[in-house]
Structure 1
């Protein structure tokens, strides 16, 4: 890990701060600390200081550990996305880890600095709350997926959710296949077989991460107890 200071505004990449004027963004930038991480380096883990981690460049895998010590993939952070907003309000990080999946540059904002900003700009508190609620909803959906017995049912439910979220039967899966497999609680090999199964029966077409639902109704019939 290395520290650095860039001449661009990190906050310009973050939707959280786009509600503010340029001059206000520049004031916040003075509170930002820059850090660089190599692929595979840990950004945060339980017990770390309470900070907001903002991805300026690169990609971060966020996960938690199950009771038996296995990684449970949660999400991928890309440019402009952040993690740690709940920790800044006093919630301890008991089981959340973040690892750089490529060379990554991160901007951090300490708890005391963010709390002062929230008092000065109340609209930021509303944006943080919205983001926190969205993450909670996403985690609940993932937990519901993992309760489904068959992998093909989980995959079908995930694809239907993606189409619904984007209001289109054609979409791009943001996660890599290895990450999606972990997200769905299976192996990459099994996931690949289930994708081929859904393609074979004519429910979907897939080109790498690009997916088109050919028969959404048929795909819906695959899903059980969801």
Structure 2
């Protein structure tokens, strides 16, 4: 009799445990988000280059860019591996070069090319600080429960210059300027980021000039920005 009761007790206990396991499995399945989004914070470090440089202008040293922000994800297909992205971010961009921005005796801006054979200097750069709106078409291999995946994001980045400055240090002393009128307030370009998981290559190609109104030898300075680096996406 005791063996029968023991058997019944074990049977009921095992049945209860198995039922609870099934309930847990069901709850896990139900918790998988079929409407998931890849909303992401991002941080990028770039090496900044100048394109369309007038003759005689060259870069030296490391010109850096730092970019951070948040992108909201809007899937456009049932599988949710294609989406639109709209974001908001901030960036700082510096460019080291031999393009001198100074002021004449009347306080008017003037632009010239530095020749190291004539003028020695240790620093000559300009910097912009921008608020940015990235707009992306996004493709990825992610699923609702897989956060390590391949991605290719392409789009445009629209930036508004909040503040700009230039700095020279050398034989001419220290020359500092800020809020320079000849910078384009709006700067925009094409972007692409591609990679797997955390590590992604990032490229930006400026579609409009950095300057508006700057000239050398009566010719417009139409330099644009090219940025190449790494971008990190964080869920």
Question: TM-score by structure 1 length?
Answer: 0.21
When you count helix as a share of all residues, which structure comes out higher? 1
Question: TM-score by structure 2 length?
Answer: 0.20
For the pair shown, which has the larger CA radius of gyration, 1 or 2? 2
